[in-house]
Amino acid sequence: MPVVAAAAAAVAARPTGAGPARPLRGGVSARPCRRRGIRAEASSSASASASTPAPAAADEGAGAGPCPVVRFEMGDFDVADRVSVGLHGRSDEMIFEATVRDPSRLVAWSKSGRANSLECSFVLILVLSELYGSTVVLRQLMSFQAKRRGRRALEVLKKLARRQMMYHSYAMQVHGYVTPGNDVEQDDGSFILVHGYHGSYSLRHWLQLSDWLPTLEATLALDEEQVRRVGDDSVGGPAVTRQLRLIRILMRDLLIGVNYLHSHGLAHTELRLENVHVSPIDKHVKVGILGNAVDFHDNDPRNSTLASNDERRKMMIAFDMRCVGFIMAKMVLRELMDSSTFLKFKSFLTKGDDPACLREFLLPILCRNSPSGNIGLQMLDRQWGAGWNLLALLLATKPDKRISCVDALRHPFLCGPKWRINPSVDVIRWGLGSTAVRMAEDYIYGRHQRRRLAYFVELMEVLNPNPRTENWLNILPGHWRLLYCTGRHIGLTLRQPSPRILITDVFLTFAQTADSIDPVFSLTSDIGFKIMAESDWPHDKSGSEGTLSVTSSARIATGRIYIHEQDGNDSRVASSRSSRRYLRGKWRKVSKMKELPASLPTVNITMDEQDVSMSCNSTLNVSSAQKVLQEIRTQTPPEMFDLSKIVCGTYVDARLMILRGVNGSALFFTRSNSRADS
């Protein structure tokens, strides 16, 4: 009994730590310390414990270290009659909220039957004194699998206790457990996991609030000191800027926490919005309970080799990074919070489509009327489309191509304007293509826009990442949508032809023939159009829809394109000179050259005979069909109607392609997969 009295006296005499004041009974107030103080208390009591029995409240082995695993009893808590909506549980779990009772009650309880255990409960008293008055979560685990997750969470706690500060900051803290006996391994008894309470909302519930942005900003107490963590120096501003700043803070915290696990040889494997919490106390993101955390190294020595462990480590890290990518996608694109939309998004990736094409796939959804408008699209389009690049790297189809936590923290999308970063050539190449795509979408083709687009096209050709013919053969098959042509642009406004034809989408499809030994592709050009009513066509774009199809066979061979100013037209000369000015400026570091080379590696494209067909929803006579066909040819680049005028390919990657025509004009394509609204 003297041990208990001394412990209670030590608890009563302890100075109050930092934190919000909590009222005690009798009008006295106390400030509970954070649990990291247990480390000092446990070490200072080492000499006292030498002459006393080992505490039963802490597992032998688990308590050996700065952060013991404590066995509580239900009498240590006041269980609440309700549970916060943000606490996520499985079907084999029961969730309770509870408040830790006054540890001084243990002295009174010892007289009523707990004396034997209290003689060795000094550690428990210290832990309860740290947690006194705070809210904790009691997670009752019902099934065998649930209990196994609980025991795994305790094992992980022992492994991560070496860097206790990082554990407290970025992981949901596990305090201990409640079991009827001393053996945590029993499967027939009840098992309750005691862990930290970090607010009533998970990150999913935060994002579902109508006023989530100002509420989460207030919870994180964003000020100039806080935003410096992400390279910013201001608060407030437009909604896009505020959301981007907030997402940078949340994503950086999440990546730091996941990297903390990876650096300790663990993969989380259950990263979801429901398992991520934002603590209003220390303003950090907490990853969920580590009940399904997996070791990188196989514990079975028969299966554990250096090569297999390294492969297992890469796969586990890649799985976590994919989960982080899903979290980022839902935070930025609020439309993905809808389950049906997210199912289409996930199906796009499951089918093997390249995530580099996500923008083209999601564009119809993001352009619809929605509660968030186009804010998500604007955020991802900023900084030359850096957000789409990071999303593509997190969700890459091949696990070995996914970005790591450390590299993601250095990515331009997660770095504020005050941080100097040195983007890689891949990121700058991505930025060139993204900027060209956005300029082509503006559809304001003045002289300045045309010249600038020509600059970007030539720079992309210089930085072509796949110059070899083998690369083209692997990447070329697919559905490509025409974005822009550097040749003539002829519209309807000034000419006012009859009939009024509106060109919708122009596609070029490459399909490799299976029965051919040589690299031969079946090539199809599909030109969609509408025949509008002549009376009110500027305001009413409805009309009969149709398609003009041109099919041919194409052979691919290695080639080169030679750039000579005297052989080109005036626009080609102007574009070449201006491109060299770009190369002497901010592009010099990327291209490592002072001017455009005299020639570029390409692939030559040779066409066979062509077949032209046209279909329309309305019935046309021969004369009307001829006029429609003539108007389509007038508005469409000649290379899309006469495929034999396509002579070579100068740039290709997973999402963009540039082909050159016989007259030197460039056709700029983006890969088009199945649409999200189909």
The answer to whether residue 578 is domain-embedded is no
**What is the pLDDT, as a whole number, of residue 254?**
94
The pLDDT score that the predictor gives to residue 398 is 92
Residue 5 included in any domain: no
The answer to whether position 24 is within a domain reads no
Has residue 500 been placed in a domain?
yes
- pLDDT the model gives residue 316: 93
413 and 510 housed in the same domain: no
95 & 158 share domain: yes
The pLDDT score that the predictor gives to residue 109 is 47
Are residues 382 and 334 part of one domain? yes
My answer on whether 258 and 388 are in the same domain is yes
Confidence of residue 569 (pLDDT cuts 50, 70, 90): very low
Q: Are 106 and 184 contained in the same domain? A: yes
Q: Is residue 371 domain-shared with residue 399, that is, in the same domain?
A: yes
With respect to residue 184, please indicate whether it lies within any of the assigned structural domains.
Answer: yes
Backbone dihedral angles phi then psi of residue 561, each to the nearest 5 degrees: -115, 130
CB burial of residue 280 (10 Å; 0-12, 13-18, 19+)? middle
d(CA 386, CA 434): 9
Q: What is the CATH number of the domain that holds 247?
A: 1.10.510.10
60-65, Cβ contacts within 8 angstroms, sequence gap of 24 or more: 61/158, 62/154, 62/158, 63/123, 65/158, 65/161, 65/162
Domain count of the fold of the chain: 3
Within this chain, do residues 396 and 331 fall inside the same structural domain, yes or no? yes
Q: Are residues 341 and 207 part of one domain?
A: yes
Q: What domain range includes position 251?
A: 202-297+306-423
Domain stops at, among 139, 174, 197 = 197
List the one residue out of 306, 322, 232 whose CA is nearest residue 272.
322
User: Which CATH number covers residue 161?
Assistant: 3.30.200.20
Residue 40 lies in a domain: no
Per-residue model confidence as pLDDT tens digits over 663-673: 889 999 999 97
pLDDT reported for residue 326: 96
- Asked if 412 and 468 sit in the same domain, the reply is no
**C-alpha span between 113 and 476 (Å, rounded):** 78
> Is residue 436 assigned to a domain?
no
Query: 263 and 334: one domain?
Result: yes
State the pLDDT at residue 432.
Answer: 92
Among the candidates 138, 162, 197, a domain finishes at 197
Query: Of the residues 401, 423, 445, which one is the last residue of a structural domain?
Result: 423
Predicted confidence (pLDDT) per residue in 91-126, tens digit: 888 888 898 887 665 544 444 444 444 444 555 666
What is the reported pTM?
0.82
Do both 600 and 506 map to the same domain? yes
Q: Does 384 share its domain with 463?
A: no
Does residue 435 sit within a domain?
no
